[in-house]
């Protein structure tokens, strides 16, 4: 059965979406591009799996399935990257199994890409400080707040964790960092009172809680930010 997809997606105007529905390695390799638009050649072996071909000759494997009742079209990969039809079918089956279990494969891929783009604590902190609270419920930070947060992360966090993977930071790492801060006496800054080291450690812990909650909300650490500092 050909999945229910709008005809405009399946084929250029006037085409026949059922013209090629028996995909083989040979047919996939030899499929010609349509004159206009794009066409999806559905596979008879695995329902919901097909090869999309565009007018400029680009070929991509696709999978059509439902997640919680909503139709989803996933691009599995280009024909140039995944050359074997058997491999493409296996990837499509894997996504379909996830969909059957209630997981959204496309959203999962996006979250993984986001985590991969920000791999180190330094990179994540750079993004966090650049946003300056604009995505938070309380709104953008005040200039004084932004300056103080940057000072704390630059002085106390980056020298220890800067090049480490954000995902590998665990609760013992946080406790060690905070305890080390509490054990040190900071030199008084010119023109400013110097709070006790325990107070400074408490401020750092508060900033770290907020940072890891932000990282979890942005799918950079998988969603365990609150448990990390609980």
Q: What is the pLDDT of residue 21?
A: 55
- CA–CA separation, 224 vs 230, rounded Å? 10
Q: What is the pLDDT of residue 8?
A: 34
Closest CA to 177 of 164, 195, 194, 159: 159
Q: What is the pLDDT of residue 15?
A: 36
Q: Considering the entire predicted model, what is its pTM?
A: 0.48
Instruction: Please report, for the chain, the start and end positions of each structural domain, with discontinuous segments joined by +.
Output: 7-114, 118-228
Q: What is the pLDDT of residue 116?
A: 58
Q: What is the 3-state secondary structure (H, E, C) of 156-185?
A: HHHHHHCCCEHHHCCHHHHHHHHHHHHHCC
DSSP one-letter string for 192-215: S----HHHHHHHHHHHHHHHHHHH
Q: What is the pLDDT of residue 163?
A: 87
Q: What is the pLDDT of residue 143?
A: 87
For every one of its 230 residues, what pLDDT tens digit does the chain have, with 9 covering 90 and above?
A: 334 443 333 333 333 344 345 789 999 999 999 999 999 999 988 999 999 999 999 999 999 999 999 999 999 999 999 999 999 999 999 999 999 999 999 998 887 766 655 678 998 899 898 888 776 677 788 888 888 889 999 999 999 999 888 888 888 999 999 888 888 755 545 444 455 778 888 888 989 998 998 888 887 776 544 445 55
Regarding the domain delimited by 118-228, which CATH topology (the fold level of the hierarchy) does it fall under? Answer: DNA polymerase; domain 1 (1.10.150)
Q: What is the pLDDT of residue 185?
A: 58
CATH architecture of the domain covering 7-114? 2-Layer Sandwich (3.30)
B/e letters for 187-223, b = 16+ CB within 10 Å, e = fewer, are eeeeeeeeeeeeebbebbbebbbbbbbbbbebbbbee
Q: What is the pLDDT of residue 160?
A: 93
DSSP one-letter string for the chain: ------HHHHSSTT--TTS-----HHHHHHPPPPSSSEEEEE-SSSTTEEEEEETTS-EEEEEEEEETTEEEEEEEEETTTS--HHHHHHHHHHHHHHHHTT--HHHHHHHHHHHHHS-BHHHHHHHHHHHTTTTSTT-SPPHHHHHHHHHHIIIIIHHHHTTSBGGG--HHHHHHHHHHHHHSPPPPPTTS----HHHHHHHHHHHHHHHHHHHHHTTSSTT-HHHHT-
| CA distances from residue 145 to 133, 192, 197, 203 in whole angstroms, order as listed | 10, 15, 19, 12
């Amino acid at each position: 059965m050909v999945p229910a997809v709008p005809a405009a997606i399946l084929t250029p105007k006037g085409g026949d979406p059922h013209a090629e529905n028996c995909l083989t390695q040979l047919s996939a390799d030899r499929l010609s591009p349509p004159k206009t638009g794009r066409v999806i050649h559905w596979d008879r072996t695995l329902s919901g799996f097909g090869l999309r071909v565009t007018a400029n000759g680009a070929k991509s494997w696709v999978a059509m399935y439902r997640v919680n009742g909503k139709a989803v079209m996933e691009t599995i990969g280009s024909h140039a990257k995944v050359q074997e039809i058997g491999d493409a079918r296996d990837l499509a089956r894997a996504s379909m199994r996830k969909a059957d279990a209630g997981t959204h494969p496309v959203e999962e891929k996006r979250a993984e890409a986001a985590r991969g783009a920000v791999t180190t604590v330094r990179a994540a902190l750079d993004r966090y400080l650049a946003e300056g609270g604009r995505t938070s419920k309380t709104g953008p930070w005040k200039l004084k707040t932004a300056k103080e947060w940057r000072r704390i992360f630059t002085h106390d966090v980056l020298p220890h964790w800067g090049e480490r993977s954000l995902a590998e930071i665990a609760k013992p790492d946080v406790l060690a960092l905070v305890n080390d801060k509490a054990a040190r006496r900071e030199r008084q800054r010119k023109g400013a009172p110097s709070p006790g080291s325990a107070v400074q450690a408490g401020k750092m812990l508060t900033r770290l809680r907020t940072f890891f909650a932000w990282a979890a909300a942005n799918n950079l650490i998988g969603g365990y930010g609150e448990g990390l500092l609980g």
